[in-house]
Amino acid sequence: DIQMTQSPSTLSASVGDTVIITCRASQSVSPWLAWYQQKPGKAPAVLIYKASTLESGVPSRFSGSGSGREFTLTITNLQPDDFATYYCQQYYGDSRAFGQGTRVEI
Amino acid sequence: EVQLVESGGGLVQPGGSLTLSCAASGFVFTSFEMNWVRQAPGKGLEWLAYIGSSNTVIKYADSVKGRFTISRDVAKNSLVLQMKSLRVEDTAVYYCARRRGYGSGGPTDFWGLGTLVTVSS
């Protein structure tokens, strides 16, 4: 099964910062990689799909890039509402594995 | 409006069984891949299983293969997860989730609110 590794596991940032989260797959999963945001007590919500396509309604300060095995989620001009946990997920193979998550904290 | 509502969670003893259901509405249930995902307390998301739109493709995570069974009740527009031989480490919130087709980019775009399963003696 495809394994997903995210880094860092925790990230400290301030409002207005740019943050970058990395996700690496154990094999190529292009282009089938999505990013999700989860807030405490809530279900995840999709931000980016197909590695770089912004989901409808998601602010443009979120962007995704990458191909093959390595992908990044970039949040520019970090807003108070963005402090949350972020997950990548591949949907290329027979599994739908998630990364272990990156908590973005103040 | 797309809605996914899980039910069936609760307290069960180690070694016991439990069946979760997810009532789907607001979309053509048989046209989408459906997934079960869980989240242990304070931990990350763990994908468990999916059933393809045609019901011909079913896949499981290694952690639940042979113990959990995913199925789709078309008459009731319901996704089901039968769980047996439950372990303490199966304690988690269990989410039902819909995945869009690859032609639409393919992400998991709708999630239920989750149902809590606690495995404890």
Q: pLDDT-derived band of residue B43, with 50, 70 and 90 as boundaries?
A: very high
User: Among candidates B4, B3, B2, which has minimal Cα distance to B81?
Assistant: B4
Residue B98 confidence (pLDDT): 97
Give just the sign of the alpha carbon dihedral B37, B39, B40, B44. positive
| Per-residue pLDDT tens over the stretch B68-87 | 999 999 999 999 999 999 99
- What is the rounded CA–CA span in Å between residue A34 and residue A88? 6
Q: Which helix (H) or strand (E) holds B35?
A: strand B33-39
Single-letter amino acid code for the residue at B32: F
Residue A101 confidence (pLDDT): 98
> Is A73 in contact with A64 (CB distance < 8 Å)?
yes
**Average pLDDT, whole number, for chain A?**
97
- What is the rounded CA–CA span in Å between residue B84 and residue A92? 28
Residue A93 confidence (pLDDT): 80
For A80, the token pair is 């108070």
- What is the rounded CA–CA span in Å between residue A11 and residue A28? 26
- Interface contact B62-A1, CB threshold 8 A: yes
Give mean pLDDT, residues A62-90: 97
Q: Which of B37, B39, B47 to probe by mutation at the A interface, max A CB count within 10 Å?
A: B47
Question: How far does B12 lie from chain A, in Å, by closest CA?
Answer: 22
